[in-house]
């Protein structure tokens, strides 16, 4: 079996040679090198595990496609490398249009975020006056579908910041190659803005625990260096991470100044679920005796994303009948019960327990630190 690191270096070399040749207008040579780079990435994909395998496979295909396009089209635009495409995507970053009021429940979380992230942006003078620490990164963690991405966008919206989103797994898949430089260009691009938020989803795949896999260790070290180069230096640049697997993240990543503040995003409570169901059923024809509280009490472990799906699927039968009969067919509690029977919550009790244990561990850590 060939080593990923070795193949990674080979890949780098082909990409570099390809780019140099392209810049000089030697398209034949550029083509050959990009093709070899693509083939090398395919080899890397074949010995990669899990999700990375697919991501790398896709990347290999894209590079091969790119090599085929080189020199054949008049328009220069189409000849851009995938790195250019990333940068372009980042340049198009916008201020999201999701408000805190759209996020159901999570009142404590919202309060913590206001103090830690929103107010320093809005009232920098006051924070200075009280000598409050600002900047650095915040890690949102919790079960999937609880609104982490939504909250990240809402923060950007509330402070009027441009929102740069990247996935840990995407960064990792590109780490062999030019992604270090690429990540740097992301930070630079965000740094240019008046206000910006860099949101890194799937932080666990980017910052795995060190000491088990040298590729991971190398990447974690390099990425942390990059973070240190930016985090805390520009108070108008916020770093936000999210993960469903906080226990897999290297502890150095959550050292002060990096992702030092962790915020738990739990499953929605009854009030939050009611808010979400009401929103989903707004202006939808429902039966006279339609009872949202009954649904609320039956959806204990359902995440926000689950609630969305439940409501959507509950509408299917009445909608079908409405089309068949060309009459208004009301949604009833029975429609919800039918879906609940076949659609269990996506978070299991044992997964939830893992979060509880993790939270207990963090709390005891905090207590220990205080005693020192």
Ligand X SMILES: Nc1ncnc2c1ncn2[C@@H]1O[C@H](COP(=O)(O)OP(=O)(O)O)[C@@H](O)[C@H]1O
Q: Binding residues for ligand X, per CB under 6 A?
A: 103-106, 144-150, 242, 268, 272, 276, 304-305, 308
**For residue 239, what are the contacts with CB-CB under 8 A and spacing of at least 6?**
136, 137, 138, 197, 198, 200, 227, 230, 231, 258, 259
- The verdict on 346 binding Mg ion (CB under 5 A) reads no
Q: Which is nearer to ligand X, 30 or 165 (CB)?
A: 165
Partner whose binding site includes residue 38, from Mg ion, ligand X, none (CB under 5 to 8 Å by kind): none
Binding span for Mg ion by CB under 5 A among 34-42, 140-148, 163-171, 269-277: 140-148
- Rounded distance between C-alpha atoms, residue 135 and residue 256, angstroms: 11
**Cβ 369 to ligand X shortest distance, Å:** 28
Q: Binding partner of residue 296 among Mg ion, ligand X, none, CB under 5 to 8 Å per kind?
A: none
Measured from each CB, the residue nearest to Mg ion is: 149
282: helix, coil or strand? coil
| 308 contact, one of ligand X, Mg ion, none, CB 5-8 Å limit per kind | ligand X
Please, what is the minimum distance in Å from the beta carbon of residue 272 to ligand X?
6
Backbone φ/ψ region at 142: left (φ over 0), alpha (ψ -120 to 50), beta: left
Q: Exposed/middle/buried for 158, CB within 10 Å: 0-12, 13-18, 19+?
A: buried
Please give the residue whose beta carbon sits closest to ligand X in the complex. Answer: 304
Tell me the window of 40-48, 141-149, 295-303, 346-354 that interacts with Mg ion (CB under 5 A): 141-149
Q: Where are the alpha helices (DSSP H) in the chain?
A: 4-23, 27-46, 50-69, 82-91, 107-113, 119-122, 124-129, 148-159, 168-173, 179-192, 203-206, 214-230, 270-281, 292-297, 304-314, 316-325, 333-342, 349-371
Q: Of 37, 45, 38, which Cα lies nearest the Cα of 17?
A: 37
Using the minimum distance from each CB to ligand X, give the nearer residue, 141 or 175. Answer: 141
44 contact choice in ligand X, Mg ion, none (CB below 5 to 8 Å, kind-dependent) = none
Closest distance to ligand X from the beta carbon of 147 (Å): 3
- Which position among 26, 119, 134, 149 is part of the footprint of Mg ion (CB under 5 A)? 149
Among residues 103 and 237, whose Cβ is nearest to ligand X?
A: 103
Any contact of residue 193 with Mg ion (CB under 5 A)? no
- Picked from ligand X, Mg ion, none, the partner binding residue 200 (CB below 5 to 8 A depending on kind) is none
CA–CA distances in Å: residue 181 to residues 24, 28, 175, 236, 253: 21, 26, 10, 22, 20
CA distance 289 to 362: 46
Shortest Å, Cβ 265 to Mg ion: 10
| 144 interacts with, out of Mg ion, ligand X, none, CB within 5 to 8 A per kind | ligand X
């Amino acid at each position: 079996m060939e080593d990923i690191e070795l193949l990674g270096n080979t890949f780098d070399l082909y990409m570099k040679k390809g780019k140099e040749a392209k810049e000089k207008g030697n398209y034949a040579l550029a083509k050959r090198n990009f093709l070899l780079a693509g083939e090398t990435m395919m080899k890397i994909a074949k010995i990669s595990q899990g999700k990375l395998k697919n991501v790398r496979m896709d990347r290999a295909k894209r590079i091969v496609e790119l090599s085929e396009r080189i020199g054949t089209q008049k328009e220069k635009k189409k000849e851009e490398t995938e790195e250019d495409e990333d940068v372009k995507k980042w340049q198009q970053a916008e201020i999201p249009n999701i408000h805190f009021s759209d996020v159901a429940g999570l009142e404590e979380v919202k309060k913590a975020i206001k103090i830690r992230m929103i107010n320093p942006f809005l009232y920098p003078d006051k924070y200075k006056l009280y000598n409050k620490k600002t900047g650095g990164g915040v890690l949102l963690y919790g079960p999937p579908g609880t609104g982490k991405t939504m909250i990240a966008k809402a923060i950007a919206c509330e402070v009027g910041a441009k929102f740069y989103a990247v996935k840990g797994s995407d960064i990792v898949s590109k780490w062999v190659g030019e992604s270090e430089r690429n990540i740097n260009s992301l930070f630079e691009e965000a740094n240019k803005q008046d206000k910006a938020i860099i949101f890194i989803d799937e932080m666990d795949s980017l910052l795995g625990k060190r000491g088990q896999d040298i590729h991971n260790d190398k990447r974690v070290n390099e990425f942390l260096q990059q973070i240190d180069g930016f985090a805390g230096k520009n108070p108008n640049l916020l770093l936000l991470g999210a993960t469903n697997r906080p226990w897999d993240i290297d502890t150095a990543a959550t050292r002060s100044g990096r992702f030092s503040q962790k915020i738990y995003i739990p499953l929605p409570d009854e009030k939050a679920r009611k808010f979400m169901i009401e929103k989903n059923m707004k202006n939808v024809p429902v039966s006279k005796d339609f009872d949202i509280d009954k649904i609320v009490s039956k959806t204990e472990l359902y995440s926000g994303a689950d609630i969305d799906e439940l409501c959507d699927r509950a509408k299917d039968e009445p909608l079908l009948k409405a089309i068949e009969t060309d009459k208004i067919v009301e949604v009833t509690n029975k429609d919800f019960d039918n879906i609940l029977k076949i659609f269990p919550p996506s978070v299991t009790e044992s997964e939830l327990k893992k979060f509880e244990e993790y939270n207990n561990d963090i709390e005891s850590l905090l207590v220990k630190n205080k005693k020192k």
